[in-house]
Amino acid sequence: MSKKPKKKGGRIARIFKWALGLFFLAALGIAAYWYFLTIDNHDIYEFVPEDAVFVVEADDPIENWKALSKTKVWRHMKKNDLFADIEEDCNYLDTLIRDNKQIFKLVSNKKLLVVGQMTKADDYDFVYLMDLKEGGKISNFMGIFKGVLNAFGLDMHSKKIAGHDGYGIGEGRNEVLLTFVGNILVSSYSNKLITKALHQYKKPFYSNNEDFLKARKWAYKSENSESLAKVYFNFDQLDEYMAVFMDEVTGTVTSLSENLNYSAFDLKMHDDYAEMTGLTTVDMNLPSLPNVLSTMPKGEIRCTSVLPSNTSFFMSIDFADFDQFYDQISSTMHEDEGFKDYEKYKDQAGGFLGVSKSKKKQDRKSRRGKDINFFDWIGQEIALALVPINESGTKQGYVAIFHAPDKENSIHDLKTIEKKIKHRTPVKFKQYEYRGHEISYLQMKGFFKLFLGKMFKKFDKPKYVILDEYVAFSNDTSALHQVIDVSHGSKPNLPMEPGFRKFYRRFEDNSNYFVYLNGRKLYPFLPSFAGAETASDIRKNKKFITCFPHGGLQLLADDGKFESRLYFEFKTEKDTKWWEK
């Protein structure tokens, strides 16, 4: 369940107030460049604490900000309550840069890092790092600059910070702390965080971390003239960070936190879209689905052909060969809870199904009609989708789609299993036909959980239907009817929606993992999915959800890591011309 993030007295606004002082201070330091003073040079990443949640890296912060602030995405999103307290500061920063071009030109091309970190269980703050290069000599002139800054209304005073000569600008909760270590300016509103940064550089972590450096290098490979910044995520801290925004951290978030290491993205933003491309690294020492998928050959995303055009969400897992995929799951995830549940069920069911767990694989064609296999019918994709089941979209049904290219084999295996376990389950469901397709009930404990974990808790009493090349499961028969309608040709599928086709061209057809979101179709369902307080926040922020009609995340396996692409289209609801195309 989500909760509204706490508003710490304009924390984001403090970033901009800090930036104004920093850029002015840095400009003064670079103006002192002509002084022949020697300073120690450091890699800026030596100061990034090991427990950082995320890092935003800007190579030319002034120009990057000017480009970002002009986009329609930013101009729309800054109207959100979360950003309301910074709009005035944003406008002031724009004016300051415009009216003081020569001063701010001095800090061009000076790398800036904004590092997000936890300060306690339910709060976070930032450390700001800037590589002043030779401008780091400013530390030798701070006594002079104190008077200059005081003249500009900035109350500046000397103080010790973690054993370093430092300074405070302002007072109380609005006091910004700063110090210089060679060429690096280190600053924060939090004494705890600036102390961490100053301790970390003595034992650098990120500047020597091969996994992180590999991801960062990949993000720079995507860089071009449109790039605004690099964004890095440390998944080890993801669950703690998300606890700031959620009453209870979901199993999906915990799983990501445990099984992924780092993501590094190159950020681009235009008037009609935002895009991040880069690399995600996986902890190959832990048994997990990301571990398995990161070594798998890619498979085609097929489920869109049977999902209705009003689908609000789908997640697709793809592989070239299911036998290879399942063998890898068996060897990698044998200690996983879902795998244990399924194996226990399979052993129990094996006796009355006549299936031996140790039975050697046989050619599918020679086996058909003789014995059955739990997975023999699965092809190259497993997907989970949300499909609206009423006109308003406030009710939506979960549907699992399994690629099953051999319909005859699917019918034989699934119907045999269904028949054998029918009298052993307390659930009573009367089979019926819809558009010539039989809808039946089939309970296979652990079967769904094995592939997509706790997300498949939604399939406690699944009904299913066998189509020409797919098998669809759902608790809700209305959702199954929609999938059948699409397969029958009486309802359009996702690729028939012009906006989706345009969006989908941004991604590869072959994939390992793909997630799709339609903000406009998903929005009506979200309030019913959340608690009362969160539902109220969702309704209040409708225009900040529905402005993203199509969004997607794609992961492509690359020998234990994933090439990653995150892309969201931006269109406000007033932009009706776009929907008419």
Q: What is the pLDDT of residues 526-544, one digit of tens each?
A: 887 767 777 788 888 888 8
Phi and psi at 379, nearest 5°, equal: -95, -105
Average pLDDT, the chain: 80
Q: What is the pLDDT of residues 329-384, one digit of tens each?
A: 877 766 666 566 656 655 554 544 444 434 434 444 444 444 446 678 899 999 99
Residue 393: DSSP 8-state? S
pLDDT, residue 247, reads: 66
Q: C-alpha distances in angstroms, 524 versus 304, 308, 514, 520?
A: 22, 17, 23, 8
DSSP 85-141: TTHHHHHHHHHHHHH-HHHHHTTTT--EEEEEEEEETTEEEEEEEEE-GGGGGGGGG
The residue that leads in pLDDT, 288 or 203, is 203
Q: What is the pLDDT of residues 443-494, one digit of tens each?
A: 665 566 666 555 556 666 789 999 999 999 998 999 999 999 999 999 999 9
pLDDT, residue 581, reads: 39
Can you point out the beta strands (E) in 193-312? 227-234, 260-269, 273-282, 299-300
The amino acid that residue 233 corresponds to is: F
Is the CB of residue 385 less than 8 Å from the CB of residue 393?
A: no
- Mean pLDDT score, 17-29: 56
How far is Cα 192 from Cα 209, in angstroms, rounded to an integer? 23
Is the CB of residue 138 less than 8 Å from the CB of residue 132?
A: yes
Comparing 42-56, 140-154, 240-254, 498-512, which segment has the lowest mean pLDDT?
140-154
CB atoms within 10 A of CB 217: 12
The residue that leads in pLDDT, 339 or 224, is 224
pTM of the model: 0.83
pLDDT, residue 175, reads: 85
Q: How much of the chain, in percent, has pLDDT values that exceed 90? A: 42
How far is Cα 535 from Cα 484, in angstroms, rounded to an integer? 32
Residue 260's DSSP bridge partners are: 282
pLDDT, residue 96, reads: 55
pLDDT, residue 274, reads: 93
Residue 545: DSSP 8-state? T
Is the CB of residue 485 less than 8 Å from the CB of residue 308?
A: yes
Comparing 140-144, 322-326, 500-504, which segment has the lowest mean pLDDT?
140-144
The residue that leads in pLDDT, 545 or 481, is 481
pLDDT, residue 21, reads: 58
pLDDT at residue 10 is higher than 70: no
Q: C-alpha distances in angstroms, 117 versus 2, 59, 566?
A: 20, 21, 23
